[in-house]
Structure 1
Amino acid sequence: MMNGNLVIHNIFSEFQKSLDEEQELREVIRNICKEVDSISRKTTTVLQVIHYNEAGIAPACLQARELFEEANAGYAKLKDAVPSTKYYKYQDHWKFMTQRYCYLISLTIWLEKGIMATHETVAEVLVSAVEEKEGFHLDIEDYLVGLLNLCSELSRLAVNSVTRGDYNRPLQISKFVMELNAGFRLLNFKNDHLRKRFDALKYDVKKIEEVVYDLSIRGLLPKTETDGMAIES
């Protein structure tokens, strides 16, 4: 009987050891994420200049790039801390933070070049890996949520651009978001969160369309752009 109690004691002692080790790892992950997330909030603040100061956009993008380098160093710490086979076990700790970074990186690249940041590009800036076999990587769903959040921010930018007298920017935004919307419609969503986020895209599209339409009826669209739109339609 005593031998039986000893065996059970040893078994549960090992359980406790495993639980303690996992708790320690989670604490390490939480501390790293807290540090990296603070950088994302700072980057968000830096990029808010796009809504009220055109001249401040380029400097803000440069500053954002510097902050992304700091975030990359933080993600490198996460990569070292998280066992390569247990990415999804601990993903909830950095999932929403990573989605925010995908949006911020995509926004910065769009402001710089007017193009969509690819999954590979965002991964290179952030975590340097795109495939699950590489262990810590940029999950495709997090990247897609980042793009959808980008559309919401651009719809807001379209309105604020008109407020400060920039009538070209809404047209640029409209073309880009329409192309993204067409791309997303090619996907068959299984993830409920991603599906709901995609459903909200139609409101962003509508908001941008209303801005462009308002410019059109007020005769504020550049003539060449208006003609181009007519030909495309």
Structure 2
Amino acid sequence: MCDNQLITSIFTEFQKNLDEEQDLREVIRGICKEVDQVSREAVTILQVIHHSEEGIAPACLRVRELFVKTREGYAKLKNAVPSTDFYKYHDHWRFMTQRYCYLVALTIWLEKGILATHETVADVIGISAVEQKEGFHLDVEDYLVGLLQMCTELSRLAVNAVTRGDYARPLQISKFVMELHAGFRLLNLKNDHLRKRFDALKYDVKKIEEVVYDLSIRGLLPKTEAA
């Protein structure tokens, strides 16, 4: 085979691989679009927590129902992505997964007032929590970003709870977010995106502290907490 034929053969094979990869990316984008739409619907449903205390429990139930669709979507994604290429295509679902981590964590906190663990979040959306050399899993950084997004939403809830006369909720939020903040301070964060998100947490903490302080000086704290 002459040099010209050899080069043509090599680059023809390259083009074939590129075409196959592009086709796979289109499949992944299609699945992510469907799954992401479900997350946006869940975000809309949970906005009721800022307006109605009575609407929180029904909203959580509706979001739980949507998580069933989420599991189905991630199952499709897992089947489409080659087990050895998780990080090659990770950017397609990174931000979507971070949003789901936030949604699951917020829902569980609203239901039970506790932190949703990495394993719990992974189980809810139907993927593995264990980072493996091969296989689809919930990246730890995606989980942590989701928790930080939840803190921002809780700081907003602390303000809105006061406007509707719920003075106990900000105290509950303050205790939880402060504990979470202390946990994040134990981490030696080097990832730029995650570090920036963590740096923003201090503003959420400050906003919540201001709400609690304002309640305190106005004498509006629940008696048990004030004591």
Normalised by the size of structure 1, how large is the TM-score? 0.95
1:9-88 superposed matches below 5 A:
9-88=8-87
Shift of residue 65 of structure 1?
A: 0.5
Q: How many residues align?
A: 226
Structure 1: unaligned runs, 5 residues or longer: 228-233
How far, CA to CA, are the matches of 1:132 and 1:112 in structure 2? 28
One-letter identity of the residue aligned with 1:104: L
Partner of 1:137: 137
**2: distance between equivalents of 1:57 and 1:150?**
15
- TM alignment of 1:195-214, pairs within 5 A: 195-214=195-214
The answer (yes or no) to whether the contact 2:189–2:195 under 8 Å persists in 1 is yes
Contact 2:84 2:135 in 1 (8 A): yes
Aligned ranges 1:150-169 → 2 under 5 Å = 150-169=150-169
Give the counterpart letter for 1:75 in structure 2: Y
Matches of residues 209-224 of structure 1 in structure 2 within 5 Å?
Answer: 209-224=209-224
Tell me how large the CA RMSD over aligned residues is.
0.9
Equivalent residue, structure 1, for 2:5: 6
**Residue of structure 1 in register with 2:115 after alignment:** 116
In 2, Cα distance between equivalents of 1:20 and 1:128: 28
- Cα pair 2:86 2:135 within 8 Å, conserved: yes
Compute the displacement of 1:128 (Å).
2.5
TM-superposed CA distance for 1:3, in Å, is 2.3
Cα drift, residue 7 of structure 1: 1.4
**Structure 2 SS opposite 1:221:** coil
Amino acid paired to 1:13: T
- Tell me the alpha carbon deviations over residues 97-136 of structure 1, each in whole angstroms, 9 at most, x when there is no partner: 1000000000000000000000000000113201222611
- CA shift, 1:14, in A, is 0.6
Cross-structure match for 2:148:
148
Question: Matches of 1:34 and 1:113 in 2, distance apart?
Answer: 31
**Does the CA-based 8 Å contact 2:74-2:127 persist in structure 1?**
no
Q: Displacement, 1:198?
A: 0.3
Residue deviations 1:64-118, cap 9 Å, x none? 0011110111011000000111100000000001000000000000000000000
- Runs in 1 of length 4+ with deviation above 6 angstroms? none
Determine whether 1:225 maps to 2:202.
no
Alignment partner of 1:132: what SS?
coil
Equivalences for residues 96-115 of structure 1 within 5 A: 96-115=95-114
Aligned-pair identity (%): 77
Q: Equivalent residue for 1:230? A: none
Give the whole-Å Cα distance in 1 for the aligned partners of 2:21 and 2:181: 41
Equivalents in 1 of 2:186, 2:113: separation in Å?
22
For residue 226 of structure 1, what is the amino acid of its counterpart? Answer: A
* 1:155/1:204 contact within 8 Å kept: yes
Question: TM-score scaled by structure 2?
Answer: 0.98
